[in-house]
Amino acid sequence: LVSTKSYTYPELSNEINSETGGIACSNTTVDVEGEADAYRAFFEIRTKALASKFVRGAALIYESLNTSDFTDEKRIREIISSTRAQLSMTLQQSGHMAASARAAAYTSSASAFTDMISGIAFYRFVRDLEENFDEKKNEVTAHLQALVTRMFRPDNVIISLTCGKDERDALLQSVCGCH
Greatest CA separation for the chain: 53
Q: How far, in Å, CA of 144 to CA of 6, rounded?
A: 19
Q: Which are the contacts of 105, defined by CB distance < 8 A and separation ≥ 6?
A: 111, 112, 114, 115, 119, 121
Q: Is 141 exposed, middle or buried (0-12, 13-18, 19+ CB in 10 A)?
A: middle
Phi-psi region of 26 (alpha: psi -120 to 50; beta: other; left: phi over 0): beta
Q: Which are the contacts of 109, defined by CB distance < 8 A and separation ≥ 6?
A: 37, 38, 39
- pLDDT value of residue 176: 64
Phi-psi region of 113 (alpha: psi -120 to 50; beta: other; left: phi over 0): alpha
Q: What is the mean pLDDT of each run of 10 residues along the chain (179 residues)?
A: 94 95 89 87 88 85 90 95 95 90 90 92 96 96 91 79 81 65
- pLDDT value of residue 36: 81
| 3-state SS class at 154 | helix
Count other C-beta atoms under 10 Å from residue 126's C-beta: 20
- pLDDT value of residue 175: 65
